[in-house]
Structure 1
Amino acid sequence: MLAPSSIRLLESCKNICYRWRSTVAHLKYKTDLPLQSKTIGQLLEECAEKFSDRAAIIAREQRRQLTFPELLDEADRFAAGLRAIGLNYGDKVGIWAPNLIEWLIANVACTRTGLPVVALNPALQSREVEYCINKINVKCIICPAESKHYSFKSVLNQLLPDLEHADKWKLECSSLPSLEKVILISEDSLRGAFTYNDVMNMPDAQSVKSIRDYQKKVDIHSVMNIQFTSGTTGFPKAIPRTHFQTVNNSYFVGKRMMLNEKHHIFCWQVPNFHAFGLIVGTAGWHNGSTIVYPSIHYSPEKSLESINKERCTTLLGTPTMYVDLIREQSTRNEDISPDFALTGGAIASPQLVKDMQSVLNVKTVQSLYGLTESLAAFFSLPGESPSEVYTTVGHIVEHTEAKVVDSNKKTVDFGVPGELCLKGAAILDGYLGDDKKNEESFDEEGWFYTGDQFVMFENGYGNIVGRIKDMIIRGGENIYPKEIEDFLRSHPNILEVHVVGIPHKRLGEEVCACIETKDGSTISTEEVKIFCDKKLAYFKIPTMVRTMKDFPKTTSGKIQKYKLVEQVVREMNNNIV
């Protein structure tokens, strides 16, 4: 049963949306709840005072655990160390690492001393890291020396050939003119790099104390985090997030998650560099939630073990991660019953939601729709009906305005697909160093064009139809892959499916379903056609089927459909006699 506060939230969310005309897909969530004027550092300080006995982070693979006051103390010590090695307000610090506890400590340290954190994907190679550093003038890089099968040290040596002999106090490299410091999360030492412990042990008690006094000098509208888009095609774009945007968007997400109702323990499957983790992790700081890192690198086996051993109440993950977790639980049948599972980062099918409830024994599944550019724009409400859970990505978030437009930028009616456009407190102000992209993505009224095909309803809920660029045009018919994917996932033997358009001389594009089966067997085109017959319009039924063992994806779990197309086309060409 919902608590009275959650019932009030549900009722208010469904009644406070303002619409411009009764039929036009244009809504704004107007709320009496004010926006908060505080930094991330101040938020964590309040959390440490209020929840002083709670674990902030449990890093199972590292066998480390910190309470909120301990996290704050370690972060302030590291922050003072960063200042001691010459980093000053506004200097950009790249954290390039998997889910280590040091990632979290360094991140908090930077927010506490006015250093924007550049969240770098730990799978990046030298060319990509060089691009990111130079794109926004990163001054310091923090990374491990080695991790799993990846050598950060080797990549650093490619970027900085003189690192073994350089002066760690002032690196000089003509190809990386802004980079002056490297900090290794390692016991290994290099002449040209500080170790994490060097920085942690450098400050005295007075300089650590000064970090608390410094909080008033950190501007709430200053950049606290810079994230790069996943880069599924071409070089990624740099997206700045301010303290103000992050604190407020995460606050309303926390309310939707009902984090104030009890002590929540998060099973943290998502990578730290991803916007999903940024918002939900910060939401937990409003209410003293505990984060559990199941593993340094994503592992569904260790995630399932952590859910059981730590009695996690809330699961975080992309749809792909839940597919993996469901497969693992189907074999092991662990004694788990989480209160919530939050899915985001990609589209979850109705069948996947049902499997999460039945196989993972999750009481409530919540959806989050947002982009790195928008943070959370639509989010589930407490007490949603099954149809709202299965068929939408949630309800418009507080202090957010949304509309859906056609190809001529005219607002469509509710229930009609078009491109989703957003405004609001959490929407980015603009990409860094990319005037051309800003011109493409924003109009003269400040609307951000998401590139997502979206349907919005009068009740404030919405749903993704797909990416505009993913839309298949077959013989003049517009086909949205998500509709076909959702239907095919209801097949009893299909575990995961992604639909793409393959070039066709006559029709322009043909529909191809790339399928992973539950038992590893193959599935024929004819079987798929029979399953779809009289359930989908003839032009939507796949005429090509490929059985897959794995899908190309980014490390944040997003499927790279362009690579699927390349793979299928390559196979077709190889089969031509």
Structure 2
Amino acid sequence: MADATTLHALIRTGADDATALSSPGGVPLSFKALRALAERTVAELNAQGIGRGDRVAIVLPNGPEMATAFIAVAAGCTSAPLNPSYKADEFEFYLNDLNARLLIVTEGSESPAVAIAEKLGVAVARLTPTPDQGAGSFSLSFATEGPGPTENGGTAQPEDIALVLHTSGTTSRPKIVPLKQSNVCASARNIRNALAFTAEDRGLNIMPLFHIHGLIAGILAPLSAGGQVSCTPGFNALKFFGWMGEVKPTWYTGVPTMHQAILGRAARNKEVIESTPLRFIRSSSSSLPPQVMNELEATFGAPVIEAYGMTEAAHQMASNPLPPKAHHAGSVGLAAGPEIAIVDLAGEPLPAGETGEIVIRGDNVMAGYENNEKANAEAFTRQGWFRTGDQGVLTPEGYLSITGRLKEIINRGGEKISPREVDEILMDHPAVSQCVTFAMPHDKLGEDVAAAIVLREGVTAVEKDIRSFASERLAAFKVPARIVILDEIPKGATGKLQRIGLAEKLGLV
């Protein structure tokens, strides 16, 4: 069968009576029912004047309806999932910036997005879940009559935009990333191939579905192999093992902070772990400390496959291979879809073993940011490579290691320090459970090294102990000048630890 280049084609992979989506405690939704739901939704949107390329903002809680709404809308229009916890000002920015034609919210939702949509003249549709007809099944009702049927209806084509997301915008205004049907399907294919998904696989999705990792790796990649996904209401370490025991997944994907929280409760859930053998565990979206990878593998008796992704590449760029091939702690693996190269400041390729900027090109990579010529001029080289903004190094065998974000490298009086290198040393301290190293302003050096740390449960340590541990293992200029011990490190919406802006958040400025 030819690889799908549209979502409409991608969800045709599964057998009619095979389960596509489920939810803990819920009725399964078959591939046949998912296809019918997508076709009905596209027809309803088309009847309201919304067709191919029109943007539909989706503000729904995590769960099966979020997964089906994303797929059903993107089969004929453009899905624009938004974080339901945004405030009114944020919804105003995103709905305006997206030029949304419609907002979908749950029936009875009190989201501030509704009032903002009404203020901006964006039509609102209410989604009513019908879980008795299968996980994620829903009906839509429209608050107002549309302008009449669109002439641009029907199934989306490979070059149409399937999904629009914004970059996280930690240092600047968020940029719009438009991903074509073909980009999204290529990424799903790349993940499916890297992880050897089959119709026998069953995923447990704990990732948020307003983020590229959850949408593509959590949902589309396994569906593209005819496999099934159980959609949880979102990550909850207290419920994870209960879900695992019920759903009996063969795999799950998460970000490092989720894996760490799961490990924190693993000792009291040994029976579930033993009775539910996983084929693999996947980690992506930020670097997985080698110590956490080793502990996960020892606890679950399954390989931990670290992958490297970003929104602009519709998620996956590199992935460690499954056994029997080697996978390495501290590496994000081999190119897994797009081509990967390391270049110098002038954009010239560097040989294996030399550190430089990671660049990519391939059929999963966006054509360019929307309405942002300046960003595109900076992001793409003359040879068509996309500059990731990450610094890394390739081994002669092609394994990629990321040494840091270029924007996160600490410049201490001219000495350049990779925060990840310091993280890995501090994580070796027996009292340290989580750590993030970051730059803090310094009046003479420009920047100095600081670290935020969470201690393991029931263990005590003071800043002086951890600094002396670091000073035995790091050059003096890399040892954090400040170590802040916290109950919890502030995280982004997807659970990522964010270095940029942490000094301000912790009052170290």
TM-score above 0.5, yes or no: yes
Partner Cα separation in structure 2 for residue 416 and residue 384 of structure 1: 28
User: Which runs of structure 2 are paired with 1:125-524 in the superposition (5 Å)?
Assistant: 125-144=87-106, 151-152=110-111, 154-157=112-115, 159-160=116-117, 163=118, 173=119, 176=120, 179=122, 181-186=123-128, 197-199=139-141, 214-215=154-155, 218-260=156-198, 263-280=200-217, 281-294=219-232, 296-336=233-273, 337-359=277-299, 361-374=300-313, 375-383=315-323, 388-398=327-337, 400-519=338-457, 521-524=459-462
Q: CA deviation at 1:507?
A: 2.6
CA spacing shift, 1:505–1:521, aligned 2, 3 Å: farther
Q: Does 1:118 align with 2:76?
A: no
Q: Which is greater in Rg?
A: 1
CA spacing shift, 1:283–1:130, aligned 2, 3 Å: same
Partner of 1:106: 69
Answer yes or no: is the 8 Å Cα contact 2:6–2:157 preserved in 1.
Answer: yes
Q: State, as a whole percentage, how many aligned pairs show the same letter.
A: 26
Number of equivalenced pairs: 489
Partner Cα separation in structure 1 for residue 252 and residue 71 of structure 2: 23
Q: CA deviation at 1:83?
A: 2.1
Find the residue that maps to 2:97 and give its secondary structure: helix
Partner Cα separation in structure 1 for residue 50 and residue 413 of structure 2: 58
Segments of structure 1 that go 5 or more residues without pairing to the other structure are 1-33, 164-172, 188-195
Find the residue that maps to 1:108 and give its secondary structure: helix
Q: CA deviation at 1:118?
A: 1.0
Answer yes or no: is the 8 Å Cα contact 1:117–1:224 preserved in 2.
Answer: yes
Runs of 4+ in 1 over 4 A off after TM superposition: none
Partner Cα separation in structure 2 for residue 81 and residue 505 of structure 1: 60
Q: CA deviation at 1:186?
A: 4.8
Partner Cα separation in structure 1 for residue 108 and residue 92 of structure 2: 19
- Letter matched to residue 530 of structure 1: S
Find the residue that maps to 1:373 and give its secondary structure: helix
Q: CA deviation at 1:145?
A: 5.4
- Letter matched to residue 321 of structure 2: L
Partner of 1:19: none
Match of 1:71 among 13, 18, 34: 34
Answer yes or no: is the 8 Å Cα contact 1:126–1:156 preserved in 2.
Answer: no
Q: Does 1:92 align with 2:51?
A: no
Q: TM-score, normalised by structure 1?
A: 0.79
Partner Cα separation in structure 1 for residue 127 and residue 46 of structure 2: 18
Q: CA deviation at 1:231?
A: 3.0
Partner Cα separation in structure 2 for residue 52 and residue 444 of structure 1: 46
Q: CA deviation at 1:482?
A: 0.5
Give CA-to-partner distance per residue, 1:61-116, whole Å, 9 cap, x none: 6x342111122222222222222323222211111222232222222222332x01
Give CA-to-partner distance per residue, 1:359-400, whole Å, 9 cap, x none: 3x14111111011001311112122666x42131010123x2
Segments of structure 2 that go 5 or more residues without pairing to the other structure are 130-137
Answer yes or no: is the 8 Å Cα contact 2:194–2:336 preserved in 1.
Answer: no
Find the residue that maps to 2:13 and give its secondary structure: helix
Q: CA deviation at 1:316?
A: 1.0
Partner Cα separation in structure 1 for residue 423 and residue 386 of structure 2: 27
Q: TM-score, normalised by structure 2?
A: 0.89
Find the residue that maps to 2:487 and give its secondary structure: coil
- Give the RMSD, CA atoms, in angstroms: 2.5
Q: Relative contact order (C-alpha < 8 Å, sep 6+): which is higher?
A: 1
Partner Cα separation in structure 1 for residue 140 and residue 127 of structure 2: 10
Partner Cα separation in structure 1 for residue 475 and residue 173 of structure 2: 38
Q: CA deviation at 1:349?
A: 1.2
- Letter matched to residue 515 of structure 1: I
Give CA-to-partner distance per residue, 1:290-349, whole Å, 9 cap, x none: 11123x232122222111221111011011111111112234444213221111111111
Answer yes or no: is the 8 Å Cα contact 1:502–1:509 preserved in 2.
Answer: yes
